[in-house]
Amino acid sequence: DLDYDAWLQETPLRGLACPPPLRALVVFGSPSEPVLETAAAEWTRAVQAAFGERPVRLQPSLDAYPDAPFVAMGLVPELPLGLRELAAKALEAAVSDDAYAIVSTGGNIAVVAHTPAGLLYGAFHLIRRLRLGQPLHEPCVSSPHNALRMLDHWDNADGTIERGYAGQSLFYRGGQIDFDERRVADYARLLASIGINAIAINNVNVHPIETRFLTEAYLPGIARLADIFRRYGIRLFLSINFASPVDLGDLPTADPLDARVEAWWRAAADRIYRHIPDFGGFLVKADSEFRPGPFTYGRDHKDGANMLARALAPHGGLVIWRAFVYNCLMDWRDRRSDRARAAYDHFVPLDGLFLDNVLIQIKHGPIDFQVREPVSPLFGGLRSTNVMLELQITQEYTGQQRDVCYLAPMWKQVLDFDTHARGEGSTVAEIARGALFGRPHGGMAGVANVGDSPNWTGHSLAQANLYAFGRLAWDPSLDPAEIAREWAQLTYGDEADVVRTVEAILMASWPAYEAYTAPLGVGFMVNPGHHDGPNPEGYEYSKWGTYHYADWRGIGVDRTMATGTGFTGQYHEPVRSLYEHLETCPDELLLFFHHVPYTHALHSGKTVIQHIYDTHFDGVEAVAWMIEAWRRLAGRIDPVRFERVLARLLDQYDRAVEWRDVINTYFYRKCGIPDDRGRLIYP
Ligand code: BDP
What pLDDT, in 10s, does the model give residues 224-268?
A: 999 999 999 999 999 999 999 999 999 999 999 999 999 999 999
Q: Using a 6 Å CB cutoff, which residues line ligand 1? A: 162-163, 204-205, 285, 324, 368-369, 396
Per-residue pLDDT, 681: 75
The predicted model gives 592-599 an average pLDDT of 98
User: In whole angstroms, what is the distance from residue 528 CA to residue 439 CA?
Assistant: 39
Q: Is the pLDDT of residue 282 over 70?
A: yes
Long-range contacts of 608-612 (CB under 8 A, 24+ apart): 608/519, 608/520, 608/554, 608/555, 609/667, 609/671, 609/673, 610/675, 610/676, 611/519, 611/520, 611/587, 612/519, 612/520, 612/663, 612/664, 612/667
User: Which residue's alpha carbon is nearest to atom 2 within ligand 1?
Assistant: 163
Q: Is the pLDDT of residue 631 over 60?
A: yes
User: In whole angstroms, what is the distance from residue 207 CA to residue 172 CA?
Assistant: 14
Q: Is the pLDDT of residue 62 over 70?
A: no
User: Which residue's alpha carbon is nearest to atom 10 within ligand 1?
Assistant: 368
Ligand 1: nearest atom to the Cα of 162: 8
281-284/235-240 β-pairing: parallel
Active site residue 289: yes
Sequence-ordered alpha helix ranges (H) in 215-300 = 219-230, 244-247, 259-275
Q: What is the pLDDT of residues 312-331, one digit of tens each?
A: 999 999 999 999 998 888 87
Q: In angstroms, how far is the first alpha carbon of the chain from the final one? A: 48
**How much distance in Å is there from the Cα of 318 to the middle of ligand 1?**
22
User: In whole angstroms, what is the distance from residue 683 CA to residue 523 CA?
Assistant: 27
b/e burial code for range 531-541 (CB count within 10 A of at least 16 → b)? bbbbbbebbee
**How much distance in Å is there from the Cα of 369 to the middle of ligand 1?**
9
Q: Is 360 helix (H, G, I), strand (E, B) or coil?
A: strand
With contact defined as beta carbons under 8 Å apart, do 556 and 340 qualify? Answer: no
424 exposure class (CB count in 10 Å sphere: 0-12, 13-18, 19+): exposed
The pLDDT-based confidence of 336 (bands split at 50, 70, 90) is confident
Q: Is the pLDDT of residue 682 over 80?
A: no
User: In whole angstroms, what is the distance from residue 511 CA to residue 626 CA?
Assistant: 12
With contact defined as beta carbons under 8 Å apart, do 233 and 117 qualify? Answer: yes
C-alpha separations of 316 from 218, 270, 280, 281, 442 in Å = 22, 11, 8, 8, 15
**How much distance in Å is there from the Cα of 490 to the middle of ligand 1?**
32
Active site residue 368: yes
DSSP-assigned letter for residue 161 = B
Count other Cβ atoms within 10 Å, centred on residue 298. 9
Per the prediction, the chain carries an average pLDDT of: 96
Type of residue found at 611 = H
Closest to 443 in 3D by CA, of 428, 454, 453: 428
Per-residue pLDDT, 31: 73
Q: What is the pLDDT of residues 427-482, one digit of tens each?
A: 999 999 999 999 999 999 999 999 999 999 999 999 999 999 999 999 999 999 99
**How much distance in Å is there from the Cα of 292 to the middle of ligand 1?**
15
C-alpha separations of 635 from 14, 158, 284, 495, 640 in Å = 17, 41, 48, 12, 11
DSSP secondary structure letters along 404-442: ----HHHHHHHHH-B--BTBTT-BHHHHHTTTTTT-S--
With contact defined as beta carbons under 8 Å apart, do 300 and 347 qualify? Answer: no
Alpha-carbon Rg of the chain, whole angstroms? Answer: 26
Ligand 1: nearest atom to the Cα of 205: 9
**How much distance in Å is there from the Cα of 205 to the middle of ligand 1?**
8
With contact defined as beta carbons under 8 Å apart, do 383 and 344 qualify? Answer: no
With contact defined as beta carbons under 8 Å apart, do 585 and 561 qualify? Answer: no
Q: Is the pLDDT of residue 135 over 70?
A: yes
Mutation pick for ligand 1 pocket among 156, 203, 204 (CB with most ligand atoms within 8 Å): 204
User: In whole angstroms, what is the distance from residue 173 CA to residue 171 CA?
Assistant: 7
Long-range contacts of 62-70 (CB under 8 A, 24+ apart): 65/108, 66/24, 66/26, 68/20, 68/23, 68/24, 69/20, 69/21, 69/23, 69/24, 69/107, 69/108, 70/21, 70/23, 70/24, 70/25, 70/26, 70/108
User: Which residue's alpha carbon is nearest to atom 9 within ligand 1?
Assistant: 205
Ligand 1: nearest atom to the Cα of 163: 8
Q: Which of 396, 430, 503, 675 is catalytic?
A: 396
**How much distance in Å is there from the Cα of 290 to the middle of ligand 1?**
12
**How much distance in Å is there from the Cα of 368 to the middle of ligand 1?**
8
The predicted model gives 163-182 an average pLDDT of 98
**How much distance in Å is there from the Cα of 552 to the middle of ligand 1?**
32
**How much distance in Å is there from the Cα of 272 to the middle of ligand 1?**
27
User: Which residue's alpha carbon is nearest to atom 12 within ligand 1?
Assistant: 368
Mutation pick for ligand 1 pocket among 202, 205, 321 (CB with most ligand atoms within 8 Å): 205
Ligand 1: nearest atom to the Cα of 288: 13
Ligand 1: nearest atom to the Cα of 203: 9
443-447/198-200 β-pairing: unpaired
**How much distance in Å is there from the Cα of 324 to the middle of ligand 1?**
9
H/E element, 446: strand 443-447
Per-residue pLDDT, 61: 74
**How much distance in Å is there from the Cα of 672 to the middle of ligand 1?**
36
ipTM: 0.98
The pLDDT-based confidence of 68 (bands split at 50, 70, 90) is confident
Ligand 1: nearest atom to the Cα of 531: 7
Percent of the chain surpassing pLDDT 90:
93
User: In whole angstroms, what is the distance from residue 72 CA to residue 28 CA?
Assistant: 7
Q: What is the pLDDT of residues 116-127, one digit of tens each?
A: 999 999 999 999
Per-residue pLDDT, 65: 67
Outline where DSSP puts E strands in 242-354: 281-284, 318-322
Active site residue 33: no
Mutation pick for ligand 1 pocket among 290, 339, 368, 524 (CB with most ligand atoms within 8 Å): 368
The predicted model gives 587-607 an average pLDDT of 98
Mutation pick for ligand 1 pocket among 239, 396, 527 (CB with most ligand atoms within 8 Å): 396
12 exposure class (CB count in 10 Å sphere: 0-12, 13-18, 19+): exposed
The pLDDT-based confidence of 307 (bands split at 50, 70, 90) is very high
User: In whole angstroms, what is the distance from residue 262 CA to residue 256 CA?
Assistant: 7
**How much distance in Å is there from the Cα of 313 to the middle of ligand 1?**
28
The predicted model gives 547-573 an average pLDDT of 97
The predicted model gives 478-497 an average pLDDT of 97
Q: Give the lowest-confidence range in 94-108, 274-288, 306-320.
A: 94-108
User: In whole angstroms, what is the distance from residue 132 CA to residue 494 CA?
Assistant: 7
Q: What is the pLDDT of residues 498-551, one digit of tens each?
A: 999 999 999 999 999 999 999 999 999 999 999 999 999 999 999 999 999 999
Mutation pick for ligand 1 pocket among 161, 288, 289 (CB with most ligand atoms within 8 Å): 289
Q: Is the pLDDT of residue 64 over 70?
A: no
Nearby residues of 207 by Cβ (< 8 Å), 6 or more positions away: 156, 157
User: In whole angstroms, what is the distance from residue 254 CA to residue 260 CA?
Assistant: 9
Ligand 1: nearest atom to the Cα of 397: 12
User: In whole angstroms, what is the distance from residue 668 CA to residue 47 CA?
Assistant: 60
b/e burial code for range 609-624 (CB count within 10 A of at least 16 → b)? bbbbbbbbbebbebbe
Q: Which of 368, 514, 532, 675 is catalytic?
A: 368
Ligand 1: nearest atom to the Cα of 447: 11
Ligand 1: nearest atom to the Cα of 368: 12
DSSP secondary structure letters along 165-209: -SSS-SSEETTEE---HHHHHHHHHHHHHTT--EEE-S-SS--HH
Closest to 68 in 3D by CA, of 28, 21, 103, 26: 21
H/E element, 386: strand 386-392
The pLDDT-based confidence of 14 (bands split at 50, 70, 90) is confident
Q: Is the pLDDT of residue 163 over 70?
A: yes
Q: Which of 180, 270, 289, 356 is catalytic?
A: 289
Q: Is the pLDDT of residue 683 over 60?
A: no
Mutation pick for ligand 1 pocket among 242, 283, 324, 546 (CB with most ligand atoms within 8 Å): 324
Count other Cβ atoms within 10 Å, centred on residue 559. 26
